[in-house]
Structure 1
Amino acid sequence: MLAVSPGCSPCPRAGGARALAVPARPRRLPAPLSVDSDPPASFPADRRDHQDELPNAARWRPESHVERDEPQRPAGKPSAATTLTASATQDPSSIDRAPGPPRGRKHHYGLQEPAMKHVLTLATVARVSVEETCATYLELADRHAPGLVQGLYLQGSIALGDYRPGTSDIDFVAVVSGPPDLRALEVIHAGLRRVHGRTCFDGLYVEPGDLRRPPSARPLGPAVHEWRVQPSSAFERNLVTWHVLAQSGVAVRGPAVGELGVHTDWPALAVATRDNLAGYWTRWRDVAARGPVGFSAQGTCWGVLGAARVRHTLAAGRVTSKTEAARYALETYDERWHRIVREALRIRVGGPALYRTPFRRRADLIDFLGVVLR
């Protein structure tokens, strides 16, 4: 959720309705690329090109994504072609400085042209990884709880076009036929973890009518967070999830998102978001100023991009992504704060550190939060 989980993923590891194609049989893939080895990329933009080749595909119209042609290659071998994230192509401000030589001419915000090449990734790796995780989940659900999962939808970073393999979670909303058996859910998610345990599959279970009403008007229900099944949880059961789903949710199984009648209420969400800045983020800044979290790379990424994302959501009138929030911060706040913003983005996508010590970085983190929270 935006209010609680807007920054880098806490999982411990280190435009309209759209549909995601799921292979009939999941294949085992190598472990996702590490953030420390290869800079991750957003969820790929080439799904539209393949929707006639895969089952259950339809209605893929990502207007904000950029596509690249992929050359033919022998089956089973990874492609050397790569796909550039939309934000990287449309505005270099969304990309941090790339690691190592060669250096090229500068774009605005002082970013080097070769930085763009380091945000390029194997599009097939990210796309197939998500699709296979979903396919494995549905296979397990249909085996252990037949008829339970009527719809599966992806929200969060995948829906917002900011998915980063090895960094982002896969955030789901499962529409179920009735109250699920908790033991069956534990078996399903334990089995999924054994196959795809490097990426958390986080989300909640709702009945068909739940999405048409305000989340606060419905009782708590089952959810999964960091592989733990919670029988009665408020996790992700909030207006942020409802808005992201309605705004750009990805349909894996079930009707298109536009046919679900998802409840939205921007004035109520705006009030809750302002309260989140005054409450959660103010307390978080105070804790970071006194404790060790402010010295960590994860804390820096969480604080800078998380608070900026909340502020950007209010300015944009829609739920925005972390990469968009970084660009917004670079365009909105004084150049004095560009270094800490780029450092937070660098932690998220990879690249050389912009600070020699964590002490100066924490000082800039705390001061930047003070500006955002005014």
Structure 2
Amino acid sequence: MTDEAVQSLLDGFVASAREVLPVEAIWVHGSLALGDFVPSRSDLDLVCVTSGPADPATIKRIHRSLDSPLGRRLHCTYLPRDALADAALRHPTFAQERYFSRPVTPVTRRELSLGDRALTGPPPSSLLPATTDEELAAFVRRDLLTFWYPVTRKRAPWRRDIWVDLGLVTLARAEATLRTGALITKGEALDRLIALDAPSAVVNDIRRRRYGGALDNSVSWRLHRAELTRTYLRKKIPAIA
């Protein structure tokens, strides 16, 4: 997938959203904002700021029209302008090919500020209240202890690529934030995991899935990988948080 294809998709999404929604701005976060975007593999993470409510049926129609492998990786949360200051509120979101609600978290808000990139309208620095280091650290610690740690009691989730990838990358990014106050990229998180004594075979597995390389999809490896990941996170999360 080329950079031109990515830009074409983003341009088309902006045009479609502006036709049917009260769009004030569309902002970029995640890998696309932080300079670690891999066109053939990374998601396109966006926040659409609106001047009023965004109709769920309209949101679903916009995203379901993006019927391509790249289009299905375009994720967007729809944030009313009058809710910009409250990081706890949940907002309409289309991601992973489904509609649900989620907050624009302190991590996302910091990514938006660091990238400060708008596809249309004013950039985040013009509208979005700053996220303090204390707010960011508190969220990261809470996310580890109340979301990720309880999942380590279960075995089934860790048999899926997305849980392995996100669980380990989130841990490394959280550790860096709590230690230094900085947000690091997913690529930097993979390097950091080695220093955090994560299972090297699992880290290399994630790296190949993100940047390319031969993968072992055998049942025996996936089961072993799941237990390595779950056991590691169950031990490491309390030590870091």
- Where does residue 105 of structure 1 map in the other structure? none
Aligned mate of 1:214, from 66, 70, 86: 86
Aligned residues: 236
Alpha carbons of structure 1 residues 327 and 271: separation in structure 2 relative to 1, 3 Å: same
* Structure 2 unaligned regions, length at least 5: none
- Where does residue 57 of structure 2 map in the other structure? 183
Aligned mate of 1:287, from 144, 154, 173: 154
Would you say 1:133 and 2:9 are equivalent positions?
Answer: yes
Residue identity (%): 24
Query: Once the two structures are superposed, what CA deviation does each residue of 1:112-135 show, in whole Å capped at 9, x if it has no partner?
Result: xxxxxxxxxxxxx1x222211221
Normalised to the residue count of structure 1, the TM-score between the two structures is 0.56
Larger radius of gyration: 1
- Where does residue 150 of structure 1 map in the other structure? 24
Aligned mate of 1:174, from 45, 48, 54: 48
- Where does residue 34 of structure 2 map in the other structure? 160
- Where does residue 62 of structure 1 map in the other structure? none
Q: CA RMSD in A?
A: 2.7
Would you say 1:246 and 2:110 are equivalent positions?
Answer: no
Aligned mates of 1:229, 1:337 — CA distance in 2: 34
Structure 1 residues 88-103: aligned runs within 5 Å: none
Contact 1:203 1:223 in 2 (8 A): yes
Query: Once the two structures are superposed, what CA deviation does each residue of 1:218-252 show, in whole Å capped at 9, x if it has no partner?
Result: x543322234444xx2x142222211111224211
Normalised to the residue count of structure 2, the TM-score between the two structures is 0.83
Query: Once the two structures are superposed, what CA deviation does each residue of 1:281-309 show, in whole Å capped at 9, x if it has no partner?
Result: 21222213xx3x33444443233223222
Contact 1:298 1:347 in 2 (8 A): no
* Cα displacement (A) at 1:267: 0.8
Alpha carbons of structure 1 residues 228 and 366: separation in structure 2 relative to 1, 3 Å: closer
Question: What SS does the aligned partner of 1:171 have?
Answer: strand
Would you say 1:199 and 2:72 are equivalent positions?
Answer: yes
Query: Once the two structures are superposed, what CA deviation does each residue of 1:146-199 show, in whole Å capped at 9, x if it has no partner?
Result: xx21211111121122222343221111122222333333332232x2366643
Larger proportion of helix: 2
Higher relative contact order (CA 8 A, sep 6+): 1
Question: What SS does the aligned partner of 1:194 have?
Answer: coil
Question: What SS does the aligned partner of 1:242 have?
Answer: helix
Aligned mates of 2:18, 2:213 — CA distance in 1: 42
Larger proportion of strand: 2
Question: What SS does the aligned partner of 1:152 have?
Answer: strand
Aligned mates of 1:202, 1:296 — CA distance in 2: 20
- Where does residue 260 of structure 1 map in the other structure? 127
- Where does residue 201 of structure 2 map in the other structure? 339
**Which residue type is aligned with residue 199 of structure 1?**
R
Alpha carbons of structure 1 residues 207 and 333: separation in structure 2 relative to 1, 3 Å: closer
- Where does residue 278 of structure 1 map in the other structure? 145
Question: What SS does the aligned partner of 2:75 have?
Answer: strand
